[in-house]
Amino acid sequence: MGKKFVAKTGNETMAEAMRQINPDVVAAYPITPATEIVQIFAQFVADGVVNTEFVATESEHSAMSACIGAAAAGARVMTSTSSQGLALMWEMLYIAAGLRLPIVMPEVNRTLSSPINIHCDHSDTMGARDVGWIQIFSENVQEAYDNLIQAVVIAEEAKLPIMVTTDGFIISHGMESMEMIPDKEVTDFIGEYKPAYSVLDVDNPFTVGAIDFTDYYFEHKRAQIEAMSEAKKIIPQVQQRFGERFGRKYAAIEEYRLSDAEVAILVLGSTAGTAKVVIDELREKGHPVGMLKLRVFRPFPFEEIVRALSSVKVLAVLDRSDGVAGIGGPVFSEVRSAMYELDIRPRIVNYVYGLGGRNIDLALIQSVFTDLEKIAKTGKAEKMVSYLGVRE
């Protein structure tokens, strides 16, 4: 094979990446299916293989609060969570972003109660889509590892917090072949952290988290929005540097057999891997099908999406969560809105799938392509939003 592959689960991989990153502070609270990440990392702390100050907190709200405090003190900070844990961090997520603290968080996608369920969908992450964090989705274990190492640099250059997500159980607990980067090279790639500010700088006292009324809040928010817009430029730069150094190329979006595709799907996360197999099979039979995998969801790469999909006739956006009260899932809403830029645009439909960990198999994905080809032929879509794989 030439390359040195190891077999690791997503969670083991994230913990190993954290060991290599060797953050100053990790504050966390366990939750399925992310528990192992910090559990394994805590062992690294106990064994003295990292220099991290580990803070075991009493809740995720406290974990994120401790992360914010440590990051404001100028530390390189990480944590990890999932589902209800991310939900409990809610108000602190906004504060981490507003204070421009580059906290890095492996987040394992799991659905939200009720009904209680520990399995994968994107409800947790999508619910946090507007909190001001960069969000990167991972298709497989390798990508999760690579994304997390890039995330440190992206966050610190953009001065924004970042979550790198893996699909619960499918990736977090699935063992796959992957290639690790030697420790020293990770250290070199992420470099030394130079915080934008540190409250421990006693020679230059300042106030962080001051109140902001009607006179300044809007200006400060506008600056934060600009930072996210700047992150759009920083992300591809970091991805390119990573690719040049380690040979694995990444971008905000991944186009799979898309350039001449007439019908296409847009997917995030682990399902993209399954979809590639379906696309290969259909292509072999002469069907002009393709896929756009969205790796970076925040900041939303709408220019890239519009460019990549401009010549597609029919597009299905696959959402692993539902807006419940909107039009289909959140990815659908945003992609459809982005595509409105074009005078001649694809017909776009939505499939909500895989809620609560419902299996998304080859046949289901193939059925989407069958639908899309029918729409392409007839020019008519029976439904704008469909639920894929639900008993009805």
Partner 1 sequence: MENLTEIRWHGRGGQGAKTAALLLADAAMGEGKFVQAFPEYGPERMGAPVQSFNRLSEKPISLHCSVTSPSVVVVLDPSLINTVDVTKGLPEDGALLFNTPLSPEEMREKIGLSGKRIFTVDASSIALKTIGRDIPNTPMLGALAKATGLLDFDRMIHDTRAKLSKKFASRPEVIEGNVKAIETAYDEVKGEE
Partner 2 sequence: MKIKHEAIWRELPIAGLIPEGGTAQEYKTGDWRSRRPIWDKEKCKSCLFCWVYCPDSSVLIQDKKMIGIDYDHCKGCGICSQICPPKIGAISMVDEG
- First-to-last alpha carbon distance for the chain, in angstroms, is 47
Select from partner 1, partner 2, none the partner in contact with residue 220, using the beta carbon and a kind-dependent cut-off of 5 to 8 Å.
Answer: partner 2
Regarding 370 and contact with partner 1 (CB under 8 A), the answer is no
Q: Could you say which of 139, 254, 304, 371 contacts partner 1 (CB under 8 A)?
A: 139
Instruction: Closer to partner 1 by CB, 240 or 359: give it.
Output: 359
Please count the other Cβ atoms lying within 10 Å of the Cβ belonging to residue 109. 33
Using CA of residue 79, residue 85, residue 91, residue 94, what is the dihedral sign?
positive
Minimal distance, residue 285 CB to partner 2, in Å: 55
Considering only CA atoms, give the Rg of the chain: 21
Minimal distance, residue 277 CB to partner 1, in Å: 6
Interacting residues with partner 1 between 53 and 112 (CB under 8 A): none
Regarding 43 and contact with partner 1 (CB under 8 A), the answer is no
CB neighbours of 61 closer than 8 A, spacing ≥ 6? 88, 89, 91, 92
Please check whether residue 358 is in contact with residue 167, taking contact to mean a CB–CB distance below 8 angstroms: no
Select from partner 1, partner 2, none the partner in contact with residue 243, using the beta carbon and a kind-dependent cut-off of 5 to 8 Å.
Answer: none
Instruction: Closer to partner 1 by CB, 77 or 331: give it.
Output: 331
Select from partner 1, partner 2, none the partner in contact with residue 196, using the beta carbon and a kind-dependent cut-off of 5 to 8 Å.
Answer: partner 2
- CA 17, CA 21: separation in Å to the nearest integer? 6
Residues that bind partner 2 (CB under 8 A): 98-101, 159, 196-197, 204-210, 212, 216, 218-220, 222-223, 226
Instruction: Closer to partner 2 by CB, 221 or 241: give it.
Output: 221
Interacting residues with partner 1 between 250 and 289 (CB under 8 A): 270-274, 276-277
Which of 184, 214, 154 has its CA nearest to residue 20?
184
- Geometric angle at alpha carbon 38, from 35 and 43, rounded to 5°: 120
- CA 141, CA 11: separation in Å to the nearest integer? 9
Contacts with partner 1 by CB under 8 A lie at: 1, 5-7, 33, 118-119, 139-140, 167, 169-171, 173-177, 270-274, 276-277, 359-362
